[in-house]
Amino acid sequence: MNQTTPTSSEAADKATNTKRKTGLRIPNIYVILFVFIALASVATYFIPAGEYQRVPGPEGRTTIDAESFQFVDGSPTTLTDFMLAIPNGLMSAGQVVFFTFMIGGMFMVLRRTGIIEIGVDKLSRRFANRRLLMIPVLMTVFAVVATIIGTQELALVYVPVILPLMIALRFDSVTAAAVALCATTAGFATGVLNPINTGLAQQLSGLPLYSGFLLRTLAFIAILAAAIFFVMRYARKVSHDPAASLMADDPTETEKRHSYLHATDDGALTANPRQKLAALTTFAFMALLVYGVLAQGWFMMEMAGLFIIMGIVVGLVAGLTTEDICEGFNQGFRDVLVGAMIAGIARGVAVVLEDGQIMDTLVYGLGNLVGELPTLLSASGMYFAQLAFNFVVPSGSGQALVTMPIMAPLADLIGVTRQTAVLAYQLGDGIGNILYPTSGYFMATLALAGVPWQKWVKFFFPLFCVWIIISLGFLLVAQAIGWAG
């Protein structure tokens, strides 16, 4: 009987499989979210129901009256409510779900035209000897955009664009997700000129718009620098040893490498005239996207509509048949199905808390808890309160409208400036958005990158801890100097 000696790759696969069987296994994200929904449902039986009165806020938004909290008759989650939590969550997160499908479909059509592979091939060849340089360049651009226009959700757009490039440069999917998510979060959280968190929170707190520019800029530099360092360190390790990748044992990662590396290995790709025209058309649509977001206030629905038209027009210009375009959209929809579903299921947690009328009670309790802290810890307490609340309301504007009418006057009572309270909200809201599985856009971005949440946590948690330390440092300085902007 013939025996063959196992290759090194087979031995590595066997070791990986053995480790997977014997090591601690984190449950599937569906299980984790289901448990959170169940815990939220149980909490409605033990946490008293309460509510704030809703009043008109800045720019036609609805906010709360901080003095109006009162306990009300409870409405604990029934079996029917629990059964409907996930469907209602999907309905509530409809914009994120639909946006995820459209962006997945559109980019698959672009891939079928061949212009993605051609662009990746040219960039990977140009930066082959200085590939690590792409990371700080891209992250700086993404962070600056986020800190000015305040759209963390643009990570959903960035990831499909840079994923092929990161793979072609011998990095991995985690690197691509990190470049998009960490950069946009660094910019959004510090919000130098961000209308969504800084501008709205300052309006709710009665502060001059965009005051405190200098300290926020310093925080932006520090948090972005930490992110770039962590991402570059990981990327360098992966480029030197692919087995060090957190995705090394993922079969989809092997498929991506085969798909995006073969062109570089086989020779330079060249575009035909129709592909060149399709690339120019793509740039025109991207310019229209930037204009719409900056000048017209476009958000997910407008961008999703644009992506539908973009996929159709670019596909036709490149010479695809209508059948090819339809199949491209279908394949893209299938590829992002899990991410779209997760984004909706995650929303189920907040739906249960809102329907059970304990969301306002949690806000009221967090405010009282912060008010009981010693003055020295007040700003830090506000930060951790915002970080905790971000788990159930991972929306920057939503969290501002609910918490800042309470935290701003509370700051006056406990010896913290309102400017510091706004910074605590910004930092607490921002960095949790790319850790908590209840953040819909974040989970959808991971799905587009093909990175499981569990693997992302393993990569991101050390940086998350560093960001907490940096945030606390800036808050302590702000409190010590009585920062008022």
| pLDDT tens per residue across span 404-421 | 888 888 888 888 899 999
Check residue 24 and give its pLDDT. 54
Decide which of 256 and 286 is more confident. 286
> How far is 459 from 85, CA to CA, in rounded Å?
30
44 burial level (CB within 10 Å; 0-12, 13-18, 19+): buried
> How far is 355 from 127, CA to CA, in rounded Å?
52
H or E element that contains 63: strand 62-64
Q: Is the pLDDT of residue 458 over 80?
A: yes
> How far is 184 from 148, CA to CA, in rounded Å?
11
Q: Is the pLDDT of residue 135 over 80?
A: yes
Check residue 262 and give its pLDDT. 58
Using 50, 70 and 90 to split pLDDT, how confident is the model at 259? confident
Least confident of 74-78, 299-303, 382-386: 299-303
Pair 101, 333: CB distance under 8 Å? yes
Check residue 10 and give its pLDDT. 43
Segment of 149-153, 200-204, 322-326, 409-413 carrying the highest mean pLDDT: 322-326
Structure tokens at 237: 């390790």
Condensed to tens digits (0 to 9), the pLDDT of residues 33-69 reads 899 999 999 999 999 999 999 888 877 778 888 888 8
Q: Model-level pTM?
A: 0.83
DSSP string, 117-148: HHHHHHHHHHTGGGGGGHHHHHHHHHHHHHHH
Question: What SS3 class is residue 272?
Answer: coil
Condensed to tens digits (0 to 9), the pLDDT of residues 187-207 reads 999 988 888 788 888 888 888
Q: Is the pLDDT of residue 282 over 80?
A: yes
Check residue 153 and give its pLDDT. 81
Check residue 55 and give its pLDDT. 85
Q: Looking at residues 317-341, what average pLDDT do you find?
A: 90
DSSP string, 422-466: HHHHHHHHHHHTTT-TT-HHHHHHHHHHT--HHHHHHHHHHHHHH
Q: Is the pLDDT of residue 104 over 90?
A: no
Q: Is the pLDDT of residue 129 over 60?
A: yes
Structure tokens at 263: 């062109």
Q: For residue 448, which phi and psi values (nearest 5 degrees)?
A: -65, -35
Condensed to tens digits (0 to 9), the pLDDT of residues 214-230 reads 999 999 999 999 999 99
Structure tokens at 299: 């958000």
Percent of the chain scoring above 70 in pLDDT: 93
Using 50, 70 and 90 to split pLDDT, how confident is the model at 263? low
Decide which of 153 and 306 is more confident. 306
Q: Looking at residues 112-120, what average pLDDT do you find?
A: 85
Least confident of 14-18, 354-358, 406-410: 14-18
Using 50, 70 and 90 to split pLDDT, how confident is the model at 341? confident
DSSP string, 373-413: S-GGGHHHHHHHHHHHHTTT---HHHHHHHHHHHHHHHHHH
Q: Is the pLDDT of residue 261 over 70?
A: no
Check residue 54 and give its pLDDT. 85
Q: Is the pLDDT of residue 354 over 70?
A: yes
Q: For residue 70, which phi and psi values (nearest 5 degrees)?
A: -150, 150
The rounded mean pLDDT for the chain is: 86
Check residue 267 and give its pLDDT. 64
Q: Looking at residues 90-112, what average pLDDT do you find?
A: 88
Q: Is the pLDDT of residue 13 over 50?
A: no
Percent of the chain scoring above 90 in pLDDT: 42
Segment of 276-285, 345-354, 394-403 carrying the highest mean pLDDT: 276-285
Q: Is the pLDDT of residue 485 over 80?
A: no
Check residue 14 and give its pLDDT. 44
Pair 457, 443: CB distance under 8 Å? no
Decide which of 111 and 474 is more confident. 474
